[in-house]
Amino acid sequence: MDREELLIYIVSDSIGETAEQVAKASVSQFLFDNYEIRRFPFINEKQQISEMIEEAKQQRSIIIFTMVVQELKDYLVEESSKANIPSIDIMSPIIQGLSDVLKSTPKREPGLIRKLDEKYFKKVEAIEFAVKYDDGKDPRGLKKADIVLIGISRTSKTPLSMYLAHKNIKVANVPLVPEVAPPKELFEIPSKKVIGLTTNPMKLIEIRQERLKALGLKSEANYASIERILEELEYADDIMKRLGCPVLDVSSKAVEESASIILEIFREIGYKLINGR
């Protein structure tokens, strides 16, 4: 059995993780373990390829690559052929197949999958943040948030927090209740990152009555009375005036529309969201 060492060169204009995993999976199909994998990531110059080829031709080698920049890919294939080193292009057949089916031209931009992964994890982080700091659970989250929503019960604080989280924005929300003083942290953060949510009292009566029915409670409860709602709205209005924050009436707006307005408010006042666009 051939025991001469094989050097497997992984070459990529990104990190090269895909090519390395394919190489490992492929070599595992052989009763051969005398090999070494050398990864050459972030190749963006012909000189780097030349140096790699010079090293590879000194020993028994094979090059496995994922290159999307056409000029560099062509140069690698040409130089490896001159040096009699087998080279295997992993991505081109797949990209070409997709291009044929989609009737579209590939971007030819390195590292896009990594950028997509980063965006995904930022979204997950923002969603976890919204859950952790929902409904005033932990006021310490107010200083970490990109946006803080405040308002009385049933003013769409939680749905808006989750919707904005899917746009990679970290949102905390605080319920305003006359019997409970708002957390001191609310007055320690920039008022321009706070959005007050209000609503029409008659609309709120309907919403709260439906909520009570869903819970199997009587709709005449104080929670859905006009007196209680007006008291809560007045209290919330006082807090919002003290903060000097923008106020959004969500009475007849869908969550998507309210979220769009919130983002527009932030653009207008020039407040930079940590994870926003």
**Which structural domains are found in the chain, ordered by start?**
6-110 (3.40.50.2300), 116-269 (3.40.50)
Mean pLDDT of 168-173: 94
pLDDT tier, 274 (very low <50, low <70, confident <90, very high otherwise)? very low
Query: pLDDT confidence of 276, banded at 50, 70, 90?
Result: very low
Predicted confidence band of residue 88 (pLDDT cuts 50, 70, 90): very high
Does the annotation list 198 as a binding residue?
A: no
Residues 19-43, mean pLDDT to the nearest whole number: 92
Range 1-25 average pLDDT: 87
pLDDT band (50, 70, 90) for residue 179: very high
Question: How far apart are alpha carbons 92 and 67 in whole angstroms?
Answer: 8
More confident residue, 262 or 216: 262
Q: Sheet containing 171-175: which strands, arranged edge to edge? A: 171-175, 147-151, 194-198, 247-249
- Rounded CA-CA distance 119/98 in Å is 23
Judged by average pLDDT, the poorest of 66-70, 152-156, 173-177, 246-250 is 66-70
Question: Would you say residue 167 has pLDDT above 50?
Answer: yes
Q: Is 276 annotated as a binding residue?
A: no
Check residue 113 and give its pLDDT: 63
User: Is 158 assigned a ligand-binding role in the annotation?
Assistant: yes
Per-residue pLDDT tens over the stretch 185-232: 999 999 999 999 999 999 999 888 888 888 887 766 788 899 999 999
- Nearest to 90, CA basis, from 35, 36, 12: 12
Whether 50 shows a pLDDT value over 50: the answer reads yes
State residue 112's pLDDT score.
66
157 annotated ligand binder:
yes
Residue pointed to by tokens 């197949």: 97
Least confident of 85-94, 115-124, 194-203, 219-228: 115-124
The per-residue pLDDT for 115 is: 65
Q: Is 152 annotated as a binding residue?
A: yes
In sequence order, the 6+-apart residues with CB closer than 8 A to the CB of 113 are 14, 18
275 has a pLDDT exceeding 90: no
- Answer yes or no: is 103 a known binding residue: no
Q: In this predicted structure, what is the pLDDT of residue 2?
A: 61
Whether residue 88 is annotated as binding a ligand: the answer is no
Give the residue with greater pLDDT, 14 vs 274. Answer: 14
pTM for the structure as a whole: 0.61
What is the predicted pLDDT for the residue at 219? Answer: 67
Under 8 Å between Cβ of 12 and 41: yes
- Under the banding of pLDDT at 50, 70 and 90, the label for residue 141 is very high
Q: What is the pLDDT of residue 13?
A: 86
The mean pLDDT value for 260-277 works out to 70
CA 71 to chain centre: 32
Greater pLDDT, 110 or 45: 45
